[in-house]
Structure 1
Amino acid sequence: MFSRLLGKPKQQTNALATIEKLNETLEMLEKKEKVLLKKADAEIEKAKDFTRAKNKRAAIQCLKRKRLYEQQIEQLGNFQLRIHDQIILLEGAKATTETVDVLRTGASAMKAMQKAVNIDDVDKTMDEINEQTENMKQIQEALATPVGAAADFDEDELEAELEELEGAELEEQLLQPSTVAPVSPVHVPASRLPTRPTPQKNTAEDDELAALQAEMAM
Structure 2
Amino acid sequence: MFNRMFGKPKQETNALATLDKLNETLEMLEKKEKVLLKKMGAEVEKAKEFTRGKNKKAAIQCLKRKKLYEQQIEQLGNFQLRIHDQMILLEGAKATTETVDALRTGASAMKAMQKATNIDDVDKTMDEINEQTENMKQIQEALSAPIGAAADFDEDELEAELEELEGAELEEQLLQPATTAPAAPVQVPAGRQPTRPVPAKHTSKEEDELAALQAEMAL
State the TM-score, normalizing by the size of structure 1: 0.63
**Residues 183 and 24 from structure 1, CA distance in 2 versus in 1: closer, same or farther, beyond 3 angstroms?**
same
Distance apart, 1:168 and its partner CA = 4.6
SS in 2 for 1:14: helix
SS in 1 for 2:149: helix
Q: Corresponding residue for 1:180? A: 181
Kindly report which structure 2 residues correspond to 1:21-32, keeping only aligned pairs within 5 A, or say none.
21-32=21-32
The answer as to 2:37 corresponding to 1:37 is yes
**Residues 139 and 61 from structure 1, CA distance in 2 versus in 1: closer, same or farther, beyond 3 angstroms?**
same
Distance apart, 1:135 and its partner CA = 2.4
Separation in 1 of the partners of 2:91 and 2:31?
24
The answer as to 2:122 corresponding to 1:138 is no
- Gapped regions of structure 2 (runs ≥ 5): 1-8, 193-219
Structure 1 window deviating more from structure 2 (143-152 vs 22-31): it is 143-152
Query: C-alpha deviations, 1:25-83, integer Å up to 9, x for none?
Result: 11111122223233334444554555566655554444333332222121111111111
Q: Corresponding residue for 1:212? A: none
Distance apart, 1:183 and its partner CA = 1.7
**Amino acid corresponding to residue 31 of structure 2 in structure 1:** K
Query: C-alpha deviations, 1:7-34, integer Å up to 9, x for none?
Result: xx64653322221111111111112222
Separation in 1 of the partners of 2:168 and 2:177?
13
Distance apart, 1:171 and its partner CA = 5.0
Query: C-alpha deviations, 1:161-184, integer Å up to 9, x for none?
Result: 434444454555552652524424
Separation in 2 of the partners of 1:74 and 1:40?
12
Kindly report which structure 2 residues correspond to 1:171-210, keeping only aligned pairs within 5 A, or say none.
175=176, 178-186=179-187
User: How many correspondences in the alignment?
Assistant: 183
**Residues 29 and 167 from structure 1, CA distance in 2 versus in 1: closer, same or farther, beyond 3 angstroms?**
same
The answer as to 2:116 corresponding to 1:116 is yes
**Amino acid corresponding to residue 181 of structure 2 in structure 1:** V
Q: Corresponding residue for 2:156? A: 156
- Gapped regions of structure 1 (runs ≥ 5): 1-8, 194-218
Separation in 1 of the partners of 2:15 and 2:36?
32
Kindly report which structure 2 residues correspond to 1:70-89, keeping only aligned pairs within 5 A, or say none.
70-89=70-89
Q: Corresponding residue for 2:127? A: 127
**Amino acid corresponding to residue 128 of structure 1 in structure 2:** E
Structure 1 window deviating more from structure 2 (166-175 vs 21-30): it is 166-175
Which has the bigger relative contact order, CA under 8 A and spacing at least 6? 1
Separation in 2 of the partners of 1:189 and 1:62?
134
Q: Corresponding residue for 2:17? A: 17
* RMSD between aligned residues: 3.4
Q: Corresponding residue for 2:4? A: none
Separation in 2 of the partners of 1:55 and 1:182?
141
State the TM-score, normalizing by the size of structure 2: 0.63
**Amino acid corresponding to residue 178 of structure 1 in structure 2:** T
